[in-house]
Structure 1
Amino acid sequence: MTYKHYLLLLALFLSSVTCTGNKKGADTANTNVAESGIPDNQTSVADENQPVLDERGYIVRVGDPAPEFTLQTTAGETFNLSDMRGKVIMLQFTASWCGVCRKEMPFIESEIWQKHKDNPNFYLLGIDRDEPLEKVQEFMKQTGVTYPMALDPGGDVFALYAERKAGITRNVIIDPSYKIAMLTRLYNEEEFSEMCKVIDELLRDK
């Protein structure tokens, strides 16, 4: 074997070792991404600067102070949540295109609003997500609800309570100390019954 042949074989050997090492490193990095879903040089989705969502899409929890907001109602009045401090408050997030909302709202009207509407310690507000006034007014007629409704342009108030892209049907019960007492999602008869009991108990303690 000539000296030139020896050098050529040595170069090929070293090249093979280097490539194998790089492949192993790449395989390890790919495994880390597959297990965590996040490359090592990126922060986790559960970053401390981001809200942690529950399985229903909420970014608030029972016991949290209620996020404050101001909205315009369909009656042209300004609603400030902070003005309701000391009351039992129910926020009902809804939209005309939501079939589950349409199913639930008549029960909210008959079993909650009609029962408590004359109680000065109770307030119920429907919050329609990102729809014009005329559509919301027609929606109220179609569902037969008479409780106050407010407009939420862009869904910004919804996004104070739940992930912006989360499903719309949800209720938030706020106690007189301005803390969240119950969170519901979709329409479930058992959960709805429990929500009615929570409202009754909170009003009984007033």
Structure 2
Amino acid sequence: MKKIIFTFMLGVGFLTSQSQEWKVPLYDRVPAFTVQDKEGNSIAIESLRGKVVLLTFFATWCPSCREELPHIQKDIWDRWKTRDDFTVMVLAREEGWDKLDPFMKNTGYTFPIYPDLERKVFSLFGDSYIPRNVLIDKEGKIIYRSIGYTEKEFSELVKRIETELEKK
């Protein structure tokens, strides 16, 4: 039986990772995609093979996202940003640099952020619900995923990152 927990707030909900809200099954290879950074450089997910990668999908208007992002900064990015075998890709669903630049300046966040204006990357993983996290191992397989933000779920994400980074 699938377990689904909803806590709706402005159309944003929390669903357990066992829900039907995922297009890519757990332990499958991450779908191919490319994003562009602020300078216009293309970054293909395949180029990050050999690293543990956290994908975080959010929107600047999303209350749950705004609750989670400080933890992404403090508990994940600040902790592991100097490691060669780890990175974060924070993707803004339907938002461009016009919104992201002031948002990053006002919040002081320093993690890597990328616009996903037309949901091209987001739509590979799901159709709705943010924040959404996808953890990818060094071989390019999805090893953890979550939708929504709770302290318990976020703590589990941090533990999974720790475990992956301890592997040789």
| TM-score above 0.5, yes or no | yes
Of 51, 64, 80, the match for 1:100: 64
State the distance in 2 between where 1:174 and 1:93 align: 14
For residue 181 of structure 1, what is the amino acid of its counterpart?
I
Superposition deviation, residue 153 in structure 1: 1.9
Which structure is higher in helix share? Answer: 1
What count of residue pairs does the alignment treat as equivalent? 152
- The residue aligned with 1:73 is 37
Quick one: higher RCO (CA 8 Å, sep 6+), 1 or 2?
2
- The residue aligned with 1:142 is 106
For structure 2, list consecutive stretches of 5 or more residues without a partner in the other structure: 1-17
Q: Answer yes or no: is the 8 Å Cα contact 2:96–2:116 preserved in 1.
A: no
Superposition deviation, residue 77 in structure 1: 2.5
For residue 193 of structure 1, what is the amino acid of its counterpart?
S
Query: RMSD of the TM alignment (CA)?
Result: 1.5
Of 138, 154, 172, the match for 2:134: 172
For residue 145 of structure 2, what is the amino acid of its counterpart?
L
Q: Is 1:195–2:157 an aligned residue pair?
A: yes
For structure 1, list consecutive stretches of 5 or more residues without a partner in the other structure: 1-53
Superposition deviation, residue 132 in structure 1: 2.1
For residue 152 of structure 2, what is the amino acid of its counterpart?
E
Q: Map 1:10-29 to 2 at 5 A.
A: none
Runs of 4+ in 1 over 6 A off after TM superposition: none
TM-score, scaled to structure 2: 0.85
Q: Is 1:113–2:77 an aligned residue pair?
A: yes
State the distance in 2 between where 1:84 and 1:73 align: 14
1:4-52 deviations in whole A, cap 9, x for unaligned? xxxxxxxxxxxxxxxxxxxxxxxxxxxxxxxxxxxxxxxxxxxxxxxxx
For residue 183 of structure 1, what is the amino acid of its counterpart?
R
Of 66, 87, 101, the match for 1:123: 87
Structure label with greater radius of gyration: 1
